[in-house]
Structure 1
Amino acid sequence: MTQFTRIMVDARSRHARWAMASLERQHAIIAKSLDPNRVGGRRSLWRLDKGRGGASSRLYVVSDAVPDIRVLHDELDVGPSDLASCAYEPFLDRLSIGQEWGFRLRANPTKSLPSAERGRRGRRAGISRIDEQLQWLQRKTRECGFHMPINRLELPEVVVKDSQTIDFTRQGSTVTLTSAVYDGVLVVDDPELLRTALLDGIGRAKGYGFGLLTLVPLADDYRTGNSAL
Structure 2
Amino acid sequence: MTEFTRVVVDSRNRHAIRAMSSLERMHAIIARSLGQGAEQGMPRALWRLDAGRRGRACRLYVVASTVPDGLVLAEELGVRPSDDIATCDYEPFLGRLECGQEWGFRLKANPTRSVPSKDASARGKREGILDIEKQKEWLFRQSRRAGFHMPINRLEMPEVMVGESRQTSFRRGESTVTLASATFDGVLVVDDPVLLRRALVQGIGRAKGYGFGLMTLLPLPASPRPTGDGA
Are residue 174 (structure 1) and residue 161 (structure 2) matched? no
TM-superposed CA distance for 1:41, in Å, is 8.9
TM-superposed CA distance for 1:79, in Å, is 0.7
* Aligned residue number for residue 52 of structure 1: 53
Counterpart CA distance in 2 for 1:36 and 1:96 is 34
Counterpart CA distance in 2 for 1:25 and 1:95 is 34
* Aligned residue number for residue 130 of structure 1: 132
TM-superposed CA distance for 1:60, in Å, is 0.1
**Residue range with higher mean Cα deviation, 131-140 or 35-44:** 35-44
Structure 1 residues 40 and 75 mapped into 2: Cα distance closer, same or farther (>3 Å)? closer
TM-superposed CA distance for 1:62, in Å, is 0.2
TM-superposed CA distance for 1:21, in Å, is 1.2
Counterpart CA distance in 2 for 1:124 and 1:41 is 22
* Aligned residue number for residue 198 of structure 1: 200
* Aligned residue number for residue 229 of structure 2: none
Aligned Cα RMSD in Å? 1.8
Q: Which has the larger radius of gyration?
A: 2
Quote the sequence identity (%).
62
Structure 1 residues 9 and 222 mapped into 2: Cα distance closer, same or farther (>3 Å)? farther
* Aligned residue number for residue 22 of structure 1: 22
1:10-47, Cα deviation, whole Å (9 max, x unpaired):
01101101111111111111011001159799420000
Counterpart CA distance in 2 for 1:222 and 1:163 is 33
Contact 2:3 2:88 in 1 (8 A): yes
Task: Specify the code of the residue in structure 2 equivalent to 1:2.
Answer: T
Which runs of structure 2 are paired with 1:59-138 in the superposition (5 Å)? 59-80=60-81, 81-138=83-140
Counterpart CA distance in 1 for 2:25 and 2:180 is 18
Contact 1:101 1:218 in 2 (8 A): yes
Runs of at least 5 residues in structure 2 that lack an aligned partner in the other structure: 227-231
Counterpart CA distance in 1 for 2:143 and 2:160 is 12
* Aligned residue number for residue 207 of structure 1: 209
Which runs of structure 2 are paired with 1:144-163 in the superposition (5 Å)? 144-163=146-165
Counterpart CA distance in 2 for 1:222 and 1:161 is 26
- Partner of 1:162: helix, strand, or coil? strand
How many matched pairs?
224
TM-superposed CA distance for 1:220, in Å, is 2.7
- Partner of 1:220: helix, strand, or coil? coil
Are residue 10 (structure 1) and residue 10 (structure 2) matched? yes
Counterpart CA distance in 2 for 1:131 and 1:223 is 35
Structure 1 residues 41 and 11 mapped into 2: Cα distance closer, same or farther (>3 Å)? closer
Task: Specify the code of the residue in structure 2 equivalent to 1:34.
Answer: L
Q: Give the TM-score of the pair, scaled to structure 1.
A: 0.94
